[in-house]
Amino acid sequence: MRTRPCKITGKGQNELQQIARNQNIDLPSQPTAIERSEHEKLSKLSGTQFDRAYAQDQVSDHKKSVELFQREATSGQAQQLKAYAQKMLPILRQHLQMAQELTRKT
């Protein structure tokens, strides 16, 4: 689980940070080049154009996250990360469904 397709916040982020410390894993502290590019693209849009682009980005990001977490949940080697992925996967799937619904409304 090295990439950050979607942002994990709140208790999920705190838990991931603790696991990373336990596993001596450095989590990214800055947005990636792709994330900066997406932000720049969105910052130039407004109104309906922004809504559509944002919703599409959310669907894409959540699909990537579900795929990564599914892979970790089924074949991860670090038990804490595997358990974390299993715990977060239903939440990410729910968020994906919400993002997909958002794209239908925009």
- Residue 11's pLDDT is 83
Cβ-proximal residues to 5 (8 Å cutoff; 6+ apart), any chain: 60, 61, 62, 63, 64, 65, 68
Instruction: Evaluate if residue 104 carries a pLDDT over 80.
Output: yes
Q: How much is the mean pLDDT over the chain?
A: 90
Q: Which two tokens stand for residue 17?
A: 């940070």
Q: What is the pLDDT of residue 19?
A: 93
Amino acid identity of residue 23, one-letter, is Q
Minimum mean pLDDT range among 2-6, 74-78, 83-87: 2-6
Question: What tokens does 24 get?
Answer: 């001596």
Interval 37-51 mean pLDDT? 95
- Global pTM? 0.82
Per-residue model confidence as pLDDT tens digits over 53-64: 999 999 999 999
Give the residue-averaged pLDDT of 61-83. Answer: 95
In the three-class reduction of DSSP (H, G, I as helix; E, B as strand; rest coil), residue 28 is classed as coil
Domain parsing of the chain, residue ranges: 31-105
